A and B are shown apart, each in its own frame.
Chain A
Amino acid sequence: QSALTQPASVSGSPGQSITISCTGTSSDIGNYNLVSWYQQHPGNTPKLMICEVSKRPSGVSNRFSGSKSGNTASLTISGLQAEDEADYYCSSYAGSSTSVVFGGGTKLTVL
């Protein structure tokens, strides 16, 4: 159960696009199309932004998109806005016994 690997920080200017990567293994990301992404503002609870690699829950802006290739998943945020500044976490289903693994988190700064 090793944590997924995310960059510690990314930044972008308003209106730009950024991509956050999330690298796992063939036991988690590479084996299941069950990658999720969460947004967490300081002091708030995590919010599900992407599930099943690329599906957006109701109410999530279409500026957020997800993809996967092999053992690496990615979250892309287009048209960056100030309110996108937050911590982002990826996670993956990891097999039997309802197991889940999270990434270490990425701090997004909107310049």
Chain B
Amino acid sequence: EVQLVESGGGLAQPGRSLRLSCAASGFNFDDYAMHWVRQGPGKGLEWVSGISWNSGSIGYADSVKGRFTISRDNAKNSLYLQMNSLRAEDTALYYCAKDNRFYDSSGSLDYWGQGTLVTVSS
């Protein structure tokens, strides 16, 4: 059974940093691209960042480019999101999600974690 478990969320002041983690199990983690998607309170889904199976291809939404860094450790079956210079508008539930295409990225996300809540407020 595929499981994605996010952690690392919490309350942060504007300008501070947080690091999110996602522990994956139940599939060959190093065969698939992975993504972070967020959902602000009462809002829609927003893609944040994606990383290919071998970290060779990485992308970011314009809203987080230059502030957030995605990474993965295939040996630990883990995905990460380093979030710096946090802003109030980064407040959201952050989901870790698996791409459904083997090796390549299709942008179709077939498994999602339950999310970790990030609140940015002074």
Q: Interface of A with B (CB < 8 Å)?
A: 1, 34, 36, 38, 40, 45-46, 48, 51-52, 57, 87, 89, 91-94, 96-105
Partner of B108, one of A1, A34, A101: A34
Task: Report the interface size for chain B: residues with CB under 8 A from the other chain.
Answer: 29
Most buried by A among B57, B62, B107: B107
Partner of B109, one of A36, A94, A97, A105: A36
B46 at the interface (CB under 8 A from A): yes
The reply to whether A91 and B47 contact each other, CB–CB distance below 8 Å, is yes
Partner of A57, one of B57, B95, B110: B110
Residues on A with C-beta less than 8 A from B51 are 98
The reply to whether B45 and A45 contact each other, CB–CB distance below 8 Å, is no
The number of A-B residue pairs with CB atoms under 8 Å apart is: 83
B52 at the interface (CB under 8 A from A): yes
The reply to whether B44 and A89 contact each other, CB–CB distance below 8 Å, is yes
B106 at the interface (CB under 8 A from A): yes
User: Which residue on chain A has the smallest CB distance to residue B112?
Assistant: A45
Residues on A with C-beta less than 8 A from B61 are 1
The reply to whether B45 and A99 contact each other, CB–CB distance below 8 Å, is no
B9 at the interface (CB under 8 A from A): no
The reply to whether A102 and B110 contact each other, CB–CB distance below 8 Å, is no
B100 at the interface (CB under 8 A from A): yes
